[in-house]
Amino acid sequence: MARAIGTRNCKWDKEELSRLYWEEGLSSNQMAIRLGLTGSAIRVAMIRLGIKTRTLPEALSGSRHYAWKGGRNKTSTGYIEIYQPDHHRANKRGYVYEHVMVWEKHNGRKLRKGEIVHHLNGIKTDNKPLNLLAMMKSTHDKLIPALRIRISQLEEELNRCSQMVMKL
């Protein structure tokens, strides 16, 4: 197929180069190592044979990106997201909140329009099925302020009790 380093004549196999590049997802340098060539020789051959190359975003996406962590991230808001670009709730980067995926799998249906998944214990990374509850966003928006008020009341009561214990 390809010539070894230092030889002059070469018959390039376009199908094999395309397969290595597109199906196996190898870079030109990885292909060169496998074939005993230089990366530049592979790149020149691909250009001459008319093999389309990946765009920069394609070349640096997913597992090829230097910061790839297996498709699982913690967002700045504290939620876990999973790389699932084909999911109906995927964002423009291809990520879906893990709690949405867990709830849908556990309940055997997709979330309806306007539904969100609430963490019952308030811990955004606790995505156990029994901790997740789907509800309409409008209901959630009414419920959360009331829960926050109740939590504040309980915290104040806890502080009072702690102070009483300290006096004993």
Does one domain contain both 103 and 20?
no
3-state percent breakdown (helix, strand, coil) of the chain, nearest 5: 50, 10, 40
Residue 124 sits in a domain whose CATH number is 3.90.75
- Shared domain for 44 and 78, answered yes or no, is no
The reported pLDDT for the residue numbered 13 is 84
H/E stretch holding 80: strand 80-83
What is the per-residue pLDDT for 66? Answer: 67
- pLDDT per position as a tens digit, 49-63: 999 888 877 777 667
Domain check: are 94 and 25 in the same one?
A: no
Domain membership flag for residue 143: yes
Structure tokens at 124: 């955004």
| 80 and 157 inside one domain | yes
Number of structural domains (the chain) is 2
Prediction pTM value: 0.57
Same structural domain for residues 20 and 97?
A: no
Q: Calculate helix-pair angle for 28-35, 39-49, nearest 10 degrees.
A: 110
Domain range for 137 is 72-167
What pLDDT digit, counting tens, does each position of 68-100 carry? 777 888 999 999 999 999 999 999 989 999 999
Question: Which residues have a Cβ under 8 Å from the Cβ of 12 and sit 6 or more positions away?
Answer: 1, 2, 45, 48, 49
Alpha-helical runs (H) found in 5-136 = 14-18, 28-35, 39-49, 56-59, 98-107
